[in-house]
Chains A and B, each alone.
Chain A
Amino acid sequence: MKKQDIILITGLLIAAAVATLGFRLFTRNGEKAVVTLDGTVILEQPLQEDCNMPIRSENGENVLRIENGKVRIIEADCRDQICVNHKEISKAGESIVCLPHGLVVEIKR
């Protein structure tokens, strides 16, 4: 690797750090979980109420769980299971995405 490569890589990593910092600064506690399927909002659920909610569509099924103000996907019939392995979310702006099903769970204020 050349010196220029190191400069480029450092620049990219700084950009990532700045973006992280920016997101951190604007993070507040969330009020509700908003579920979007292929761009359409299909569900808004307050974080105060615990629930287990299956979300079915022609793309597949995901099961959403809200517990103690934290949201996660506990089950999905997709191939990669990335949404199931995702850490639980609770802060405004955080999200869990299931790419194969076009599903986004986002925390909003």
Chain B
Amino acid sequence: MAKKVSILGVMTALGIVLGWLESCVPITLGIPGVKLGIANLTALLVLYRFSYKEAVTVSILRVLISCILFGNLAIGIYSLAGSILSLAVMAVLKKKNVFSVAGVSAAGGVAHNFGQILAAWVMMGTAAIFYYLPVLIVSGVIAGVLVGLAGAWLHRHLPMEIS
């Protein structure tokens, strides 16, 4: 138990640092929500090494702490909606055992962006936001595959004690 808590704590911290690092190298294409989302690497790894429950916990903690540290409440809410939907989709696909980590993560990336659009739709009360759906699907696939390939590599090479 203590080992598990400490590993999950390290994963949360790692996620916060990765998210911060990414925010230092902004790649803005002028489209809200387009980014690599490298912090989700930790959620993906926790999903594969532990389970859905742990992955959601790590994600929620990461978003909340990042929000307090660097924050903007609105961005935090979008991230949270995206993360939860993304993990739900990835957990289901992982269970099906049809796709490899990269495929699961690609679907997760798209689900993440879709969750953010839904949250923005509710918060801003305008369907105009769906205009971004196509480009956010494509960016979700690209980001998801890249994070997924990195996650698969880590899953293969990290010692099995981390689980």
In the assembled complex, the Cα of A31 lies from the Cα of B141 at a distance in Å of 35
Q: Which of B33, B100, B123, B135 contacts A5 (CB 8 A)?
A: B100
What is the number of residues of chain B that contact chain A, defined by CB distance less than 8 Å? 36
Kindly list chain B residues whose C-beta atoms are within 8 Å of the C-beta of A8: 99, 103, 106-107
Kindly list chain A residues whose C-beta atoms are within 8 Å of the C-beta of B78: 99
Which residue of B has the minimal Cβ distance to A15? Answer: B137
Q: Is there contact, CB below 8 Å, between B28 and A23?
A: no
Task: Confirm or deny: B61 has a beta carbon within 8 angstroms of a beta carbon on chain A.
Answer: no
Which residues from 70 to 84 on chain B have a C-beta closer than 8 Å to any C-beta of chain A?
A: 72, 74-75, 78
Q: Is there contact, CB below 8 Å, between A104 and B126?
A: yes
Task: Confirm or deny: A9 has a beta carbon within 8 angstroms of a beta carbon on chain B.
Answer: yes
Which residues from 32 to 70 on chain A have a C-beta closer than 8 Å to any C-beta of chain B?
A: 36, 38-40
B66 to chain A, nearest CB (A): 13
- Given the interface contacts A39-B123, A93-B128, A97-B32, does A23 sit within 8 Å of B102 by beta carbon? no
Q: Which of A13, A86, A102 contacts B31 (CB 8 A)?
A: A86
In this complex, the interface size class of chain A, counting residues with CB under 8 Å from chain B, is 35 or more
Task: Confirm or deny: B60 has a beta carbon within 8 angstroms of a beta carbon on chain A.
Answer: no
Q: Which of A2, A16, A81 contacts B100 (CB 8 A)?
A: A2
- Given the interface contacts A23-B134, A82-B28, A87-B30, does A9 sit within 8 Å of B126 by beta carbon? no
B82 to chain A, nearest CB (A): 12
Q: Is there contact, CB below 8 Å, between B134 and A20?
A: yes
Kindly list chain B residues whose C-beta atoms are within 8 Å of the C-beta of A99: 32-33, 74-75, 78, 120
Kindly list chain B residues whose C-beta atoms are within 8 Å of the C-beta of A38: 123-125
Kindly list chain B residues whose C-beta atoms are within 8 Å of the C-beta of A20: 134
Kindly list chain B residues whose C-beta atoms are within 8 Å of the C-beta of A40: 125
Which residue of B has the minimal Cβ distance to A106? Answer: B128
Contacts from B to A (Cβ < 8 Å): 26, 28-33, 72, 74-75, 78, 98-100, 102-103, 106-107, 110, 120, 123-126, 128-129, 131-135, 137-138, 140-141, 145
Given contacts A1-B145, A8-B107, A99-B78, 20 further A-B contacts (CB under 8 A): A1-B102, A12-B137, A13-B138, A19-B134, A23-B134, A36-B126, A38-B123, A38-B124, A39-B126, A82-B28, A85-B28, A87-B30, A95-B129, A97-B32, A97-B124, A97-B132, A99-B74, A100-B74, A102-B74, A106-B126
Which 10 pairs, one residue from A and one from B, show the smallest C-beta to C-beta distance? A39-B125, A5-B103, A16-B137, A85-B30, A95-B128, A86-B30, A106-B128, A20-B134, A19-B134, A16-B134
